[in-house]
Amino acid sequence: MPGGMIIIWILVFFGIFYFLAIRPQQRQRRQHAEMLSMLRKGDEVVTIGGMYGTVTAIREDWVELEVAKRTRVRFLKRSISSITSVQEDDEEDEDEYIEAA
C-alpha cells in the first residue's frame, strides 16, 4: 500500500497549496474587479506604476486620467491600482489647522 500513501500525500499537498496560494489570489482578483466597476469620473486613482491622477473618461477597457493641468493620459483599466480618497486631503488640512491654533 505504499502507492496509496503517495497519492494521499499528493492530495494533501495540493489542498494546502490551494488554500494558501490559489484561493487568496482569486479573492484578490475579485476585489480588484469590484473596485474597477465602482470607478467613476472625478475619482482620484493611483496606477500600478505609482502615477496619481483624476479620472476624466471611462471606457470598456481604458481610463483617461488627468495627471497634471491639461495633461491627460490613457491607461488600461486593469492598471489602476487603487482609488484614493479625496477626504484624506481634507483631513490633513484640518490637522494643519488644529496644529496652527
Question: 25-42, pLDDT tens digit by residue?
Answer: 999 999 999 999 999 999
Alpha-carbon distance 32 to 40, whole Å?
15
Residue 1: pLDDT band by 50, 70, 90 thresholds? low
* Tally of structural domains, the chain: 2
Q: What is the pLDDT of residue 88?
A: 46
On whether both 71 and 51 belong to a single domain, the answer is: yes
Containing domain of residue 17, as a range?
1-38
Q: What is this structure's pTM?
A: 0.65
Please, are residues 57 and 41 in contact by the beta-carbon 8 Å criterion?
yes
Residues 14, 50 share a domain: no
Is the model more confident about 101 or about 79?
79
pLDDT band at 5 (very low <50, low <70, confident <90, very high): confident
Q: Are residues 44 and 34 in the same domain?
A: no
Residues 53 and 97 in one domain: yes
Percentage, residues of the chain above pLDDT 90: 73
Pairing of strands 52-58, 62-68: antiparallel
The larger pLDDT score, comparing residue 87 to residue 70, is at: 70
Residue 46 and residue 31 share a domain: no
Do residues 70 and 99 both lie within one domain? yes
79 and 67, same structural domain? yes
Residues 31 and 73 in one domain: no
The mean pLDDT of the chain is: 85
Same domain, 69 and 59: yes
Polymer length of the chain: 101
Cα–Cα–Cα angle for 24, 74, 72, rounded to 5 degrees: 130
